[in-house]
């Protein structure tokens, strides 16, 4: 039997191929069990670019402690960090590049850690919800479909189609259901080990032996001056460059977009959109997974974390000091993950805001009414 690796499939996708095995008039596999009569989007918005399940999910992986992880992962390797209660887990981005969904549990919660390279969006969603009065828990897989240059997932219960960027079911039995987001940040494995001595990382046993992890098939896709993202039919009307990096924050039902470049200049950006207190931290050292073929040689793009700046009954104003952040009100020192490690507020943790790091076009396509920092106010 012919075995197609994730590298071959992603290269095929980047070269503009389509998945003939899925092709119908609108690029949709004819024997999907999805109820297409229940839909929030026109079927013509979906197109198949790889076969269904070509990119395999990882289901309930085993984990290793930091001492074991140091033998398997490089200090500068980028990971997606998810923390729930006292449990902290690292999901290497090099793994998510070829396995865009990892179904897992953390802190008693069923989660899906998801990644879409075309939008460079990592999103972690709860996999449990209530539907028609009944609690449901589902596992996700990769459909091979794209919509607005963003991965479409499907669940294995109803084969409903879910938008990776929004966590919303667009077609099928669960159409209209929105998953609850779980906060996550990107950081290097070295920073993870230093911050969480009892943290856990996905075991390398979850890897496919034929996939060249540590390399990317999306060579040089990460270019701010790229005129148009791959497979995007209609460019959004936006003053931002389509491929510049931004963080989108949801506040009181509205979406606000902050360019990475603005946050990087300040180190810590303090803002009050709609009279809500926001602080956004920038941390250097995180490399792009979409630049050089050898990811370890890729450019540094940094990482962003957004928090409420209202803590312990007071507004805090932050500035960056080295790899830490200092609030001007108490002089306390805070890590990138929002934990205070020294000063009057030691032991406290900033509340993460609903946020997404991605290329600008994704924010403006899925949330076209977004406000843009330094443009709309």
The pLDDT-based confidence of 310 (bands split at 50, 70, 90) is very high
Which stretch of DSSP H or E encloses residue 79? strand 78-84
- The whole-number pLDDT of residue 13 equals 52
Task: Compute the distance between CA of residue 189 and CA of residue 184 in angstroms, rounded to an integer.
Answer: 14
The pLDDT-based confidence of 226 (bands split at 50, 70, 90) is confident
Range from 24-38, 104-118, 254-268, 359-373 carrying the lowest mean pLDDT: 24-38
Contact 261, 244 (CB under 8 A): yes
| Three-state DSSP state, 19 | coil
CA-CA-CA-CA torsion for 305, 286, 165, 86, nearest 10 degrees? -50
Mean per-residue pLDDT, 347-372: 96
Task: Compute the distance between CA of residue 67 and CA of residue 200 in angstroms, rounded to an integer.
Answer: 10
How do residues 153-162 score in pLDDT, each as one tens digit? 999 999 999 9
Share above pLDDT 90 across residues of the chain, in percent, rounded to a whole number: 83
Q: Which residues of 12-27 are buried (b: 16+ CB within 10 A; e: fewer)?
A: bbbeeebbeebeeeeb
Which token pair is 129?
Answer: 């919800």
Domains recognised in the chain with CATH numbers: 6-187 (no CATH), 245-372 (2.102.10.10)
Task: Compute the distance between CA of residue 292 and CA of residue 330 in angstroms, rounded to an integer.
Answer: 43
How do residues 31-83 score in pLDDT, each as one tens digit? 788 999 999 999 889 999 888 999 999 999 999 999 999 999 999 999 999 99
Q: What is the pTM for the complete model shown?
A: 0.92
- The whole-number pLDDT of residue 147 equals 96
């Amino acid at each position: 039997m012919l075995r197609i690796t994730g590298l071959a499939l992603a290269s095929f996708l980047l070269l503009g191929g389509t998945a003939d095995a899925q092709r119908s008039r609108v690029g949709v596999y004819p024997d999907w069990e999805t109820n297409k009569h229940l839909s929030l989007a026109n079927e013509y918005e979906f197109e198949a670019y790889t076969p269904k399940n070509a990119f395999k999910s990882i289901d309930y992986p085993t984990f290793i402690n930091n001492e074991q992880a140091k033998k398997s992962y490089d200090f500068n390797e980028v990971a997606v960090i998810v923390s729930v209660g006292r449990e902290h887990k690292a999901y290497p981005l090099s793994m998510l590049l070829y396995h865009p969904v990892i179904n897992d549990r953390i802190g008693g919660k069923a989660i899906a850690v998801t990644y879409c390279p075309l939008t460079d969006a990592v999103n972690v969603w709860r996999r449990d919800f209530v539907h028609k009065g009944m609690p449901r828990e589902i596992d996700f897989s990769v459909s091979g479909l794209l919509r607005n240059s963003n991965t479409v997932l499907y669940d294995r219960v109803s084969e409903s189609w879910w938008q990776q960027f929004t966590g919303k079911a667009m077609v099928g039995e669960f159409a209209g259901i929105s998953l609850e987001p779980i906060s996550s940040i990107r950081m290097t494995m070295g920073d993870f080990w230093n911050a969480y001595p009892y943290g856990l990382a996905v075991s390398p046993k979850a890897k496919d032996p034929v996939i060249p992890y540590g390399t990317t098939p999306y060579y040089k896709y990460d270019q701010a001056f790229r005129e148009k993202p791959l497979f995007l039919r209609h460019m959004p009307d936006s003053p931002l460059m389509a491929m510049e990096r931004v963080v989108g924050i949801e506040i009181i039902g509205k979406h606000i977009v902050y360019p990475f470049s603005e946050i990087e200049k300040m180190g810590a950006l303090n803002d009050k959109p709609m009279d809500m207190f926001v602080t956004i931290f920038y941390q250097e050292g995180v490399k792009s997974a979409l630049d050089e073929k050898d990811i370890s040689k890729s450019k540094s793009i940094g990482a962003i974390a957004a928090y409420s700046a209202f803590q312990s009954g007071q507004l805090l104003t932050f500035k960056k000091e080295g790899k830490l952040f200092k609030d001007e009100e108490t002089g306390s020192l805070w890590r990138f993950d929002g934990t205070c490690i020294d000063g009057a507020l030691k032991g406290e943790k900033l509340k993460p805001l609903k946020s997404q790091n991605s290329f600008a076009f994704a924010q403006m396509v899925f949330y076209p009414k977004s406000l843009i920092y330094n443009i709309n106010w």
